[in-house]
Amino acid sequence: MDADPYAGFPPGFFDRNDDGPDARFYDRPRLVTHIDEAAIAAVGDLYAELGIDGSAPRPTRVLDLMSSWVSHFRTPPADLVVLGMNADELTANPAASTRLVHDLNADPTVPLPDDDVDAVVCCVSIDYLTRPVEVLAEMGRVLRPGGVLAVTFSNRCFPTKAVRGWLATDDEQHGAVIAELVRRSGGYGEPTVELRTAPGVGDPLYAVVATRC
């Protein structure tokens, strides 16, 4: 990782309108979905195509980063670690085998050992990270060689908690930003960016996918 992994981004890009403690913002459970049914299905289809859900020919261990009460797998993987901000939401996730309450903006370290999981997913949440390069590097650390990183995003967010650069850019730019952050974190092959839903119909669902070297 470069000495300044954010060199070249505009000043304040990763600041937020509400810079208060995230633990306070997420202190009550929100048992709702943040994308529509078609976008949710697109997430599940992506995970199945990547071979990281329960339909994979071999058991998989997956980390769902910035997770909640649902993880959007069509078939849950054999071993699903969910990491999020609200204990009640994680407790309500029926697919989870391990639950970790952790604030990545306060501490970007992922509390798992090296080479621990086959895949890391992050669904419609990366726009809330104030130190995304460090978190993406941590995802690479806990991934096994050849493991998959899958970051999905849409056009919905909590605007006070999303970083200002996200609010100032459009969906195509979002994909380019995430791909660049993945490159700067090191340890991955070249990321791909793809729209996974029909253009102009419902919530858009984009995916940025990369493989750990």
- The rounded distance, in Å, linking the Cα atoms of 153 and 122 is 9
Contact call for residues 70 and 44 (beta carbons, < 8 A): no
- Cα-trace Rg, the chain: 16
The domains found in the chain, sorted by start residue, are: 22-211 (3.40.50.150)
- pLDDT of amino acid 25: 81
Residue 84: its H or E element: strand 79-84
Q: Is the pTM of this model over 0.85?
A: yes
- pLDDT of amino acid 2: 62
Average pLDDT along the chain: 94
Taking only the tens place, the pLDDT of each residue in 92-137 is 999 999 999 999 999 999 999 999 999 999 999 999 999 999 999 9
Taking only the tens place, the pLDDT of each residue in 27-84 is 777 656 779 999 999 999 999 999 999 998 899 999 999 999 999 999 999 999 999 9
- Write the CA distances from 18 to 32, 92, 155, 187, 192, integer angstroms: 22, 27, 19, 32, 31
Q: Which two tokens stand for residue 110?
A: 């992922």
β-pairing verdict for 61-65 and 79-84: parallel
- pLDDT of amino acid 32: 62
Q: Give the phi and the psi of residue 148 in degrees, each rounded to 5.
A: -110, 135
